[in-house]
């Protein structure tokens, strides 16, 4: 509603070009979404940024053509690109207005406008995107999210890295694991119990180390020291940073305890 007084009469096309790329259309009160990993049968694939498609322009054109074929129009009123490199992908459809939205504001909007609230604080903890790890916003229905503060503490990397050592979670390279580990670990933690005597060591694990290096998957040297120290402190005597995989109730308790430590550290900073 910030861009047009009557959304029922406009067609909005958004395209996100990084990993898990998605192109979507909003028209006449209906959303139509094309997830590129389903469209191209390639897990987590992007368009032109992280994990780019082999033929970026062709993939984009075919997805857009299909989406527009689901409407009664061939043009677009508002085009919303995110991580779309115009060196590699040039829209072939006509559009009236191009609006660029930063990555974390988009996350904040997606959360807020699907909530029941008229006004809310919104926190994003993504670990990346427009060179921001986490941020805070104040959002309302009229103006959307207004940026309040940017956080430099990378809690997401510390959270996801333990999934690398849990047998129930498929082991991936960290270039893939950093995309999928967090959600799987959050599901697994429901089977475990928080171990109170572990908590001080997990709090240290989140609070002491700085994982936010210039690398997009965090600092390997930092995570090695952090993880091996954590395991030693909770009594794991034969931990191997490269090869150890935990299973059963011990693994579930690791997941539950790291979930609790993440939450407490998050509230401390926010």
The pLDDT tens digits for 231-243 are 999 999 999 999 9
* Among the ranges given (14-18, 31-35, 152-156, 233-237), the one the predictor scored with the smallest mean pLDDT: 152-156
- On whether the CB atoms of residues 80 and 101 are closer than 8 A, the answer is yes
The 10 Å CB-count burial string (b at 16+, else e) for 50-78 is bbbbeebeebbbebbeebbeebeeeebbb
- On whether the CB atoms of residues 45 and 19 are closer than 8 A, the answer is yes
- Mean pLDDT (the chain) is 90
Q: Mind listing the pLDDT tens digit for each residue in 127-160? A: 777 778 889 999 999 999 999 999 887 788 889 9
φ/ψ (deg, to 5) at 148: -105, -45
Mean pLDDT throughout 46-72? 95
Model pTM greater than 0.85? no
């Amino acid at each position: 509603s910030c861009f047009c007084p009557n959304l029922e009469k406009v067609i909005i096309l958004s395209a996100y070009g990084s990993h898990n790329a998605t192109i979507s259309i909003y028209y006449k009160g209906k959303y139509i979404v094309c997830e590129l990993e389903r469209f191209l049968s390639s897990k987590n694939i992007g368009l032109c940024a992280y994990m780019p498609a082999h033929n970026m322009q062709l993939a984009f054109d075919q997805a857009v053509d299909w989406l527009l074929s689901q409407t009664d129009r061939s043009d677009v009123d508002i085009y919303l690109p995110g991580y779309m490199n115009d060196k590699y992908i040039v829209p072939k459809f006509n559009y009236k207005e191009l609006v660029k939205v930063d990555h974390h504001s988009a996350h904040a909007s997606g959360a807020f406008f699907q909530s029941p609230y008229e006004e809310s604080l919104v926190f994003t903890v993504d670990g990346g995107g427009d060179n921001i790890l986490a941020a805070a916003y104040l959002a309302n229905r009229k103006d959307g999210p207004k940026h309040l503060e940017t956080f430099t503490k990378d809690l997401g990397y510390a959270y996801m890295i333990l999934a690398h050592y849990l047998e129930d979670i498929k082991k991936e390279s960290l270039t893939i694991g950093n995309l999928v580990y967090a959600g799987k670990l959050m599901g697994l933690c429901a089977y475990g119990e928080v171990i109170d005597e572990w908590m001080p060591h997990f709090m240290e694990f989140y609070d002491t180390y700085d994982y936010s290096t210039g690398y997009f998957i965090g600092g390997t040297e930092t995570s090695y020291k952090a993880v091996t120290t954590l395991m030693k402190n909770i009594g794991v005597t034969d931990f191997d940073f490269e090869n150890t995989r935990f299973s059963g109730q011990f693994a579930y308790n690791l997941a539950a305890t790291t979930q609790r430590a993440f939450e407490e550290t998050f509230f401390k900073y926010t």
